[in-house]
Structures are given as C-alpha cells and as structure tokens.
Amino acid sequence: MWSDSLLIVFISICTAFLGEGLTWILVYRTEKYQKLKVEVERQSKKLEKRKEAHGDSLDKQHKKKIEREEERLKNNNRDLSLVKMKSMFAIGFAFTALLSMFNSIFDGRVVAKLPFYPISWIQGLSHRNLSGDDYTDCSFIFLYILCTMSIRQNIQKLLGFAPSRAASKQGGALFAPPPAQFK
C-alpha cells in the first residue's frame, strides 16, 4: 500500500512538470505571451497605486482616467487568457487521457489509509470504485487530486509561472460588477 501511495506522489510530480513543460513550450516562451504578461502586470500595479491614491476622491477626471485604464487592462487580460486557452485545451485533453489510464491501473485498489473519516460529500471521491464499507480506505483519485493541488501550484510558483498577486487581484475584480462610483 505504501509503495502505491509513494508512486502516486511521484506520478503527480512528473505530470506537474510535464504540464508546466508543455505549457512553457506552447505558451510561456512565446513572445506574445511574455509581452502581454509584462503589460498586464505593469498596468495592474499602476492601477492599484492610482486607486489607493485617489480611491476616495470624487474628482471626475481621476475617475475617468481610472476607468480608461481599467478598460485597457480588461482587454489585455482577455487577450492573455485567449493565448493561454488554446494550449490549455490541448493539455487538458492529454491529461484526461493520462488520468483515465492511471485510473484503470489503480482501479479498485486501496492506495492509502486515511487517518480520519472523510465527510459524506468527500466519501464519493475518497472511496471511488472501492469495495467494502471502511471509509478510511483511500482511492487513487483522492490522493492524486491532493498531490496535484499542492505540488502543481508550488512548482508553478517555484518556476515563476504563477500569476502575480497584483494581476490576479485586479483580474478578479474585473469579473465583479463595477463599483457604483465608476458607473
């Protein structure tokens, strides 16, 4: 059982590197992506600073400027996600195939013993395709998801591919309804 769980950790490390490598080849190293990324980051930081400085002021000119910059940032962000999207689809397909292959290899096998009873809506995942009523038995998919959650993000951050905080903060705000003062 232990060798199975260690093997799953190893598999998820490999797939995380493979995924990042493929994304690097298809996206990160392209000039278009790099240009857009720098641009989005620069604009996000600028916008944040401007908002901090004039957040409460009612000056119409400032508001208009901020609005215009937000619009520009929005467009750049959209372009950035478009550049990413195509390759993400390709990688997504490849990984679904890989996952189903591993799923069939580990089908019905208890790969680990959980030190806790999972709550009911997680049991479907942690006890997937396992026989018996012992819910502390762990299936492949649950351990794989946990490994991927921790390993993939750390690798992204380590290699510097994770989006910067300023960009994701501004990006997140773009999908929210605009605040009343900017309407």
Partner 1 sequence: MSSKNKSLDGANKIKVSESVWKKTLTANAEWPDKEEFLDVIYWMRQAIGIILGLCWGLLPLKGIVGLLLFVVVNAAVIYFYVNNFQSIDEEEYGGMWEITKEGFMTSFAGFLVTWIIMYTGLHGNDSL
Rounded least distance, CB 39 to partner 1, Å? 18
Q: Does 7 bind partner 1 (CB under 8 A)?
A: no
Q: Which residues pair with 138 in a beta bridge?
A: 112
CB nearer partner 1, residue 107 or residue 134:
134
Q: Does 150 bind partner 1 (CB under 8 A)?
A: yes
Q: Does 129 bind partner 1 (CB under 8 A)?
A: no
3-state secondary structure of 48: helix
Size of the site for partner 1 (CB under 8 A): 24
Rounded least distance, CB 136 to partner 1, Å? 5
Rounded least distance, CB 86 to partner 1, Å? 27
Burial 26-35 (b: 16+ CB within 10 A, else e): bbbeeeebee
Q: Which of 29, 124, 157, 174 binds partner 1 (CB under 8 A)?
A: 157
Q: Does 47 bind partner 1 (CB under 8 A)?
A: no
Please return the burial class of 151, using the count of CB atoms within 10 Å of its CB with bins 0-12, 13-18 and 19+: middle
Q: How many other C-beta atoms can be found within 10 angstroms of the C-beta atom of residue 98?
A: 15
Joined tokens for residue 175: 């999908």
Handedness of CA 84, 85, 86, 88 (dihedral sign): positive
Rounded least distance, CB 55 to partner 1, Å? 13
Measured distance CA(105)–CA(107) in Å, rounded = 6
Interface of this chain with partner 1, residues 67 to 96, rule: CB under 8 A? none
CA 24 to chain centre: 15
Joined tokens for residue 157: 């951050």
CB nearer partner 1, residue 2 or residue 175:
2
Q: Which of 24, 39, 136, 173 binds partner 1 (CB under 8 A)?
A: 136
- Site residues (CB under 8 A) for partner 1? 1-2, 5-6, 9, 112-117, 136, 138, 143, 146-147, 149-150, 153-154, 157, 164-166
